[in-house]
Structure 1
Amino acid sequence: MSVADLVLLVVAGFGAGLVGYITGMASLISYPALLAVGLGPIAANVTNTIALVPVGAGSFAQSGRVLLDGDRRPFYSGIVAAAIGGTIGAVLLLVTPDEAFSSVVPWLVAVAAVALLAQPWLQRLATSHGERPWIWFVGTLVIAVYGGYFGAGAGIFFLALAMVVSTQPLWRAALQKSAFLGVANLIAAVVFIATGPVEWSAAIAMGIGCLAGGWCGPPVVRRLPAEPLRIAVGIGGLGLAIWLATR
């Protein structure tokens, strides 16, 4: 891998970390960058998962104390579901042929992009329906499977689940989203490190960029208009889905 490729991945990682902090759609930036430097679809996704671990780890470390306040049962239930789901998603990816994964990824990207564009509508679903612990566990597990398998837009799906089946406030759901998906991503990364086709130079370069992008997220988000950015990333995601389907 050339120096120019590594520089591209650092820059793409920074953009992914920044966009991921603001919109939860980091993979829409990082995954195509890994394809652009010559990685195959599954190798790119495996490497992408490992590169994004620093973002999830930082979020979990920062929010863990707050999430342990009050009733801890939903938090522990979500952690268990995320760990199981992340493992299942990683194994599914490793047993999926490159051709099959390439055919399904455009649809996953398109669903994630539509979810981002529909985010305001999903947020308006935030009504009190009472706690539903079994739906919470199963829903978190399913989203974590998706997170371990591919992951783009998983945060939006989780927020929609949390707002519909629980009575917790949005800010707490957002913290849980980062923690649970961080666990699913970490578990998947461990599986990939042990058995997957990891391109380590690419993972390290992109991981450096992701860490910097996530660190710069809080001050940048205060200055950027969030609504135009959300729409731009969503439309870009639909364009990416079309490109992946026709490449």
Structure 2
Amino acid sequence: MTEYLILAAAAFFAGMLNTVAGGGTFLTFPALVYTGVPSVAANATSAVAVFPGYLGGALGFRSEIAALDRKQLLKTVAATAVGGLAGSLLLLVSSNEAFSAVVPFLLALATLAFAFREQLQGWAQRHSLGKPHGPFGTLLVALFGGYFNGGLGIVLLALFSLWGMRDLNLMNGLKNGLSFVLSAISVATFAAAGIVAWPQAILMMVAATIGGYAGAPVARALPAGVVRAIVIVVGATMSAIFFWRLIA
């Protein structure tokens, strides 16, 4: 019972954090590993657990998403689906040992990309990357997200910054929508492969959905600086924990 309470609480706050700024899997993945689920199965189960929360978050930002250019949005969604499928298939051929070794670096990369996204945006603008010119960047981010869902929202926000987007609510809405598309593909892939711990996943799906919808008004109410600080602190903390696990 204690383990299930831990998983439910982690999923609720993960759903809220994903809606606010991303990084919710920084909570669900460690919680699953802590309760004894092997790392690859924990990653797959975590992806299943948080994906309904993305839908709740997207619905919470539906007015912001409706303001986006329809044609560009469809192209971005298609690139996200292709990259997410490729990343999910890549996870299926990874061993627990190999996956555990690469996780700390992926977490650190996601956190650094978000922390220094303003500098990255300036570099992108100087090199004529201030607007989305093609699907390549989206494909790469989706590949990352399909392989390791942790930090997906953070990397998506960094990508949007490279595109020149400034409105954090608009960025959060698009992030949640794309995360839902990618995670739906990952969930189908992992379920077909039989690597999902379903009792834990179902409990966490319910909690993450509630947290995801609750996160939209929180995101609007919090100052942008506070949201950014939360993501950076969570990402840095989890990166340090998993580096410690790797070398211990």
Unpaired runs of 5+ residues, structure 1, are: none
Determine whether 1:38 maps to 2:33.
no
Shift of 1:246: 2.8
Match in the other structure for 2:95 = 97
Match in the other structure for 2:149 = 151
Any idea what the Cα deviations from partners look like across 1:110-132, whole Å, max 9, x if unmatched? Answer: 21232343345456668594644
Deviates more, 1:78-87 or 1:157-166: 157-166
Give the TM-score, by structure 2 length: 0.85
Any conservation in 1 of the 2:84–2:183 contact (CA below 8 Å)? yes
Distance across 2 between alignment mates of 1:162 and 1:227: 14
The letter of the residue matching 1:242 is: F
Shift of 1:20: 2.1
Match in the other structure for 2:104 = 106
Unpaired runs of 5+ residues, structure 2, are: none
Match in the other structure for 1:246 = 247
Alignment of 1:213-224 (within 5 A): 213-221=211-219, 222=221
Distance across 2 between alignment mates of 1:168 and 1:223: 16
Shift of 1:69: 4.5
SS of residue matched to 2:36? coil
Shift of 1:214: 1.8
Distance 1:169 1:226, change over 3 A: closer
Distance 1:104 1:151, change over 3 A: same
Shift of 1:194: 1.3
The letter of the residue matching 2:110 is: A
Any conservation in 2 of the 1:105–1:244 contact (CA below 8 Å)? no
The letter of the residue matching 2:8 is: V
Alignment of 1:120-159 (within 5 A): 121-122=119-120, 127=125, 129=128, 131-134=131-134, 137-159=135-157
Shift of 1:219: 4.4
Shift of 1:152: 2.1
Which of the numbers 56, 59, 82 marks the counterpart of 2:57? 59
Any conservation in 1 of the 2:84–2:142 contact (CA below 8 Å)? yes
Distance across 1 between alignment mates of 2:63 and 2:86: 28
Percent identity over the alignment is 32
Any conservation in 1 of the 2:54–2:212 contact (CA below 8 Å)? no
Alignment of 1:1-247 (within 5 A): 3-63=1-61, 66-69=64-67, 71-119=69-117, 121-122=119-120, 127=125, 129=128, 131-134=131-134, 137-165=135-163, 171-221=169-219, 222=221, 225-226=226-227, 228-247=229-248
The letter of the residue matching 1:45 is: N
Distance 1:171 1:63, change over 3 A: closer
Any conservation in 2 of the 1:10–1:205 contact (CA below 8 Å)? yes
The letter of the residue matching 1:237 is: M
Any conservation in 1 of the 2:121–2:162 contact (CA below 8 Å)? no
Deviates more, 1:113-122 or 1:91-100: 113-122
- Aligned-residue RMSD, C-alpha: 2.7
SS of residue matched to 1:38? coil
Give the TM-score, by structure 1 length: 0.85
